Amino acid sequence: MKKAVTITVTGILLMGAVIFYFVTFFAYIPSDKFFGFPVPKNAKLVKGKERVNMYDWSKASEENGIPSGYKLVIKSKGCKERDREGASTYYEKGNKIIDLISQTDELTLIKDKD
């Protein structure tokens, strides 16, 4: 009986981990414009310029920043958080800097001048 319970609990935990992985990591796509920096798939591009993209994204918040799952994906793609200033968080990958600005329902990415 104990063995069956252990197997069931282990299976449930494993399934939960697999679901978390797929929901988290497949919700973002790499952006060529921003050196592979992940962008939420369901974020709607509302304004794009040479160095800036602004997205309408309901999960962005000025008070709470970005969701922890998004932070995890950014880190897994080799981007390191370098600095934080108000709504801006600066990420570095190699010698490239991305400024991610999280405001209420709005996500903005700005890349350094090349």
pTM: 0.82
- pLDDT, tens only, 76-94: 999 999 999 999 999 999 9
Give me the residue label for tokens 């993209």: 53
Asked if pLDDT for residue 17 goes beyond 90, the answer is no
Q: Hey, which bits of 1-114 come out as E strands?
A: 28-31, 37-40, 44-48, 52-56, 80-85, 88-93, 96-103, 106-111
Crossing angle, helix 2-25 and helix 68-76, to 10 degrees?
A: 80
pLDDT confidence bin for 114, thresholds 50/70/90 = low
Express each pLDDT in 48-74 by its tens digit. 999 999 999 999 999 999 999 999 999
Q: What is the pLDDT of residue 20?
A: 76
